A = this chain, B = another copy of it.
């Protein structure tokens, strides 16, 4: 987990909101187009670097996102990036905000908040699965970039559709995010583990079960309720299209069911305040 806001806050924010139009670490002034720059022409742009970094992170994961790797993808050394970006942490902030531009914001403004929130949750889940490294960027000190704010604004708008009190809404935001992000994390980690180890969920689970049986033959006695749950909730044969891995299918079921439960809870609150 990486934390933002270490460096020069003003420069970070300026980069995020694209207020300065030149690389200029020295800072020739935040003002307009300037009187033409001296020195060699910049061969890169902040956008190009951010985009290359996103590609690296999408393809090979957060662990593979090094300054060297990003530079290499652009035909430069790692140090070349420091002309445009203060450091790795700030680059991460820029990446984070950049991908948030992908999130849709054009949900129909119908009275059916439940359908809208469901679509929002599904879109947000898919977004995090496209960019799983986003889950590893700290939330505590939000990056506060324009696209993140746009995404937040969308959710707030949908939530206002419930007609609930603003204080309650504010708290629901976090709950919804926790749920979607958690769901995404399970799937993302499952995929990455499969990619890294070259072993599918099924294979892994099978091997581990065998070892567990060796090492804890008294399993059913020590963990009776888990045992009961496993026997009672039969594994359900996969549907015709069994291309989706085991854990992933289960995670998606958890997502659908959990979202339903969550929305039921919100509905209860709506009914409670709606007809006092």
Contacts and interface: CB of A to CB of B under 8 A. Distances in A.
Given A140-B189, A179-B182, A156 B225 contact: yes
Given A216-B146, A258-B174, A9 B182 contact: no
A127 interface: no
A269 B264 contact: yes
Contact of A225 (B14, B63, B157, B223): B157
A63 B265 CA distance: 38
9 contacts: A5-B204, A6-B196, A13-B212, A13-B214, A149-B226, A166-B229, A174-B186, A175-B179, A262-B265
A66 interface: no
A144 B265 contact: no
Interface string A232-252: 110010000000000100110
A17 B216 contact: yes
A101 interface: no
A41 interface: no
Contact of A196 (B3, B139, B169): B3
B215 A17 contact: yes
A38 interface: no
A166 B232 contact: yes
B265 A193 contact: no
Contacts of A232: 166
Interface string A157-198: 100100000111111111101110111011011101100110
A223 B197 CA distance: 44
Given A153-B226, A156-B226, A157-B225, A171 B257 contact: yes
A44 interface: no
A3 B168 CA distance: 37
Interface in A62-93: 62-63
A87 to B, nearest CB: 15
For the complex of A and B, list the 9 residue pairs with the smallest distance between their C-beta atoms, beginning with the closest. A178-B182, A140-B189, A175-B258, A265-B265, A261-B265, A166-B232, A174-B254, A264-B265, A166-B233
